């Protein structure tokens, strides 16, 4: 791969995190999905391909498709993202210990 075709993986990951911090679970609208701890992994390759592993607060989430579609559309729209592999997992299952301190504070759990 030539030098000019490589992406700055740190910069692209930073943009992805910023984007994810603007996506909210409609059932918990006070806190974004990143601070809720729903994002398990962001792996950005130099060719612009991205692996994003995430979960939901519950396996039977009634708005799962809505959240996944929004994540897919917004991340794929970031300049530099060439391909997105969005993986939904429930292993390990989400629990409130995965939330950021900021999220816990906003929800009155600290």
pLDDT at 27 (0 to 100): 85
Greatest extent of the chain over all pairs of C-alpha atoms, in Å: 50
Query: Is the whole model's pTM more than 0.85, yes or no?
Result: yes
- How many other CB atoms are found less than 10 A from the CB of residue 57? 18
The answer, yes or no, to whether the previous bond of 55 is cis (omega within 30 of 0) is no
Q: pLDDT averaged over consecutive 10-residue blocks of the chain (110 residues)?
A: 76 98 92 96 97 94 93 97 97 94 90
pLDDT at 4 (0 to 100): 64
Q: Could you tell me the CATH number of the domain that includes residue 22?
A: 3.30.300.130
pLDDT at 77 (0 to 100): 98
Q: Which domain holds residue 16?
A: 3-106
Total domains in the fold of the chain: 1
């Amino acid at each position: 791969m030539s030098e000019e075709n490589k992406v700055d993986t740190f910069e692209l990951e930073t943009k992805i995190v910023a984007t994810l911090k603007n996506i909210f679970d409609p059932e918990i609208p006070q806190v974004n999905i990143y601070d809720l701890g729903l994002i398990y992994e962001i792996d950005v390759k130099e060719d612009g391909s991205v692996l994003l592993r995430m979960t939901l607060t519950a396996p039977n989430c009634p708005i799962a498709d809505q959240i996944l579609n929004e994540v897919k559309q917004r991340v794929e729209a970031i300049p530099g993202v060439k391909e997105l592999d969005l993986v939904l997992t429930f292993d390990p299952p989400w629990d409130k210990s995965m939330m950021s301190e900021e999220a816990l504070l906003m929800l009155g759990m600290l």
